[in-house]
Structure 1
Amino acid sequence: MEITYLNHSSFFVEYNNKAILFDYGELPKRPKQGKLEKGIFELEQLKDHYDKLFGYSSHRHADHYDPEIVNQFLLNDLLYILSDEPQLEFENYMKTKNFCRLLPQTTANIHILNFANTGSTDQGGAVLLQDRNEDFSIYYGGDLAVWDDLPEFYQGFAQEFDWLTNQVEDFAPVQVAFLPCCTSDGYQEEPLLNGSKDLIRLLKPKIVVPMHGYGHEHFYKSFVEEMQDRLQEYPTEIVTFSSYNKHKFAEHSIILTYAENTGDSIEVD
C-alpha cells in the first residue's frame, strides 16, 4: 500500500493495482493539472493506471468535496461514493449508476467494497471500509470528532462510536486510520484528543495518520505526541512520512505518522 498526502484531509491510497481518492475538495485551491507528488490529483493522468479507481468524500463541505472531480469520475464510468445527509438534495448530476450515497449508520456492499458508514458531529459521516479481496480495512474519519467541550459533540460522538463498535468485528484488521486532528480555525481541544484516543483503542490500527490541518499543520506533530502520551498501554512509535520508509518498526507497535509537506507519501507493508 502507498499513501500520498494531498493536503488537508485528502489522501490517495494505492494498493494491489487499485486506488481510492479520499476527500479531495475544492479547498484548499490547487492547480487543475499536476502530479501526486505535488499534491495534485489529475484524473486524466491516472485513470488508466489502475484496475479499479474509486473516489470517496465524507461530506459535501468544500474542503472535502469537489463536484467537478466527482463529475470527472462519473463521466469516466468510475465509482464515486459520498457519505451524505438524508435532508440534503440529491442533485441531478448524482443520479447515475456510478454515484453511491451512504446515509448515516448504514452498511453497504458497493462493487468490491464493504462499508460501515457512521453519522458525523458535523456533516456526512466516517467510514470503515474493506475491499473484499484484501485482508485489511481502512478507517477514514471525515469530520467525526468531539470538536469542543459541548454536550452536542459528546453525545453525537458517543452515538456514532457505539454504532461503529458493533460493526468492527465484521471487518478485517484496520491497516490505517485517518483521524481529524484540529478544527478548521486552529484549535486542538482535549475532547477531540480523548475521542481520537478512544477510536484508536477501538480500531487498533497498525497506522494512525492525522489530517484536517490545512493552515495549522503544526498540529499533526502535536496530535501524534498527544496520542502517544494517551496510549501508554500500547507500544507506539512516531515517525514522519519522509522518514517512514527508512525506519525499522518494532513488532506490534502502533505507528503514529504524519506528513510534513503536501505530496509526501509512505509505502506500507
Structure 2
Amino acid sequence: MEIVYLHHSGFAIIANDVTIVIDYFEDSISESQGIIHEELLNRKNRMYVLSSHFHADHFNRQVLEWKNIKNDITYIFSKDIYKRRKAPKDMAIWLNKGDEYKDEHLRIKAFGSTDIGISFIIELEGKTIFHAGDLNNWHWMEESTEAEWKRDERRFLNEIETLSREYSSIDLALFPIDPRLGKEYIRGGKQFINTIHTSAFIPMHFWNDFASANVFQQYAIDNGIKSPFIKCRGQVFKDLL
C-alpha cells in the first residue's frame, strides 16, 4: 500500500484493489496536473473520494467532474458539504459523526472535529488509517485568553479520547501540524500520539512550510514512530504500512 501526499491535507492511498483520495484541494503539481489526473483516474479499480468538510482547502468541486472520466467512483462526504449545497444529494454517501460506511473493500467510520465536519478512520487491507480533517488542538494561545484556549483544548482532548475508546492504536495518522498556531503549534500532534498508540505519522495542513512540518517528524521519530521527513508535493511513502 502506498500513500501519496498531494497538497495541504490531501492524500491518495493506493491499495491492491482500490484507490482512495482524501480531502482533495489540488493535485500533486497544481489544481489539475499531477498523479490523480495523469495516473490514478486511469487506474482500473474502484476509487473512493472522501471529503471531511466543505472548507475550500479540503473540498474542491472538481472531484465531482471525475465521474465523467471514471465510472467506478464512490463519493463519501461529510454531511455539511450537502447542507452548504456544495454537492447534489444523490451524488454521495453522507456521513455525520458516528456514521459508517462498509463494503467488500473497506470500512470507514466518521469521528468528530474541533472545527467543521468530521474525521475518518479507514480500515483497509487489515490496516487502520486516520485522517483528522480539521480535528486539532486549535488553541491559538498567543491570541486567546487562558480560559479560551483551555476550553478549546478540552474539546480536542474529549474528541481524541472518544476515538481512543474504539481505536487504542492505529497504523497511520494523517494529522494537522499547522505553524500558524504559533510557538505551541505541534501541541495537538503530541497530545494525539500520547493518547493513541500510532505506528506511523504524516503531517498535513501546513501549506508549503515543510520545514515546520518536519519539526514534528523529528519528535515522532524520537518517540519510536515511523515518520519520514516530508519534502514536496507528490511525495510517495511506500513502506509505512
TM class by shorter-chain length? 0.7 to 0.9
Select 1:182's aligned residue among 175, 178, 182: 178
CA contact (8 A) 1:22 1:55 kept: yes
> For 2:227, what is the secondary structure of its paired residue?
strand
TM-score by length of 2: 0.82
Deviates more, 1:197-206 or 1:118-127: 197-206
Distance (Å, rounded) in 2 between the aligned partners of 1:263 and 1:28: 5
CA contact (8 A) 2:5 2:28 kept: no
Number of residues of Structure 1 aligned to a counterpart in Structure 2:
230
Match of residue 247 from structure 1:
none
Deviates more, 1:138-147 or 1:17-26: 17-26
Structure 1 residue 207 displacement after superposition = 1.2
Q: Which amino acid aligns with 1:157?
A: F
Corresponding position: 1:22 with 2:18:
no
- Structure 2's unaligned 5+ residue stretches are 142-148
1:6-155 alignment to 2 at 5 Å?
Answer: 6-25=6-25, 30-32=30-32, 34-36=33-35, 41-42=36-37, 45-73=39-67, 76-85=71-80, 89=83, 91=85, 93-96=87-90, 99-104=92-97, 106-111=98-103, 112-131=105-124, 134-148=125-139, 149=141, 150-155=149-154
Q: Deviations over 1:22-67 (max 9, x none)?
A: 11116999242x332xxxx22x753341422111111111111011
TM-score by length of 1: 0.75
CA contact (8 A) 1:58 1:124 kept: yes
Q: Which amino acid aligns with 1:51?
A: N
- Structure 1's unaligned 5+ residue stretches are 237-253
Q: Which amino acid aligns with 1:95?
A: K
**Alignment RMSD (CA, Å):** 2.8
CA contact (8 A) 2:175 2:204 kept: yes
Corresponding position: 1:5 with 2:5:
yes
TM superposition outliers: structure 1 runs of 4+ over 4 Å: 26-29
Distance (Å, rounded) in 2 between the aligned partners of 1:93 and 1:141: 22
Distance (Å, rounded) in 2 between the aligned partners of 1:93 and 1:221: 35
CA change 1:46–1:27 in 2 (3 A) is: closer
Structure 1 residue 108 displacement after superposition = 1.0
Q: Deviations over 1:101-135 (max 9, x none)?
A: 2112x04133333223222111112111113xx21
Match of residue 161 from structure 2:
162
CA contact (8 A) 1:22 1:56 kept: yes
Q: Deviations over 1:196-224 (max 9, x none)?
A: 22322343232110111113222111112
Match of residue 189 from structure 2:
196
Distance (Å, rounded) in 1 between the aligned partners of 2:7 and 2:86: 29
Structure 1 residue 261 displacement after superposition = 1.0
CA contact (8 A) 2:177 2:213 kept: yes
Structure 1 residue 188 displacement after superposition = 4.5
Distance (Å, rounded) in 2 between the aligned partners of 1:57 and 1:205: 23
Distance (Å, rounded) in 2 between the aligned partners of 1:135 and 1:221: 28
Distance (Å, rounded) in 2 between the aligned partners of 1:159 and 1:100: 27
Q: Which amino acid aligns with 1:61?
A: H
> For 2:14, what is the secondary structure of its paired residue?
strand
> For 2:108, what is the secondary structure of its paired residue?
strand
Match of residue 214 from structure 2:
221
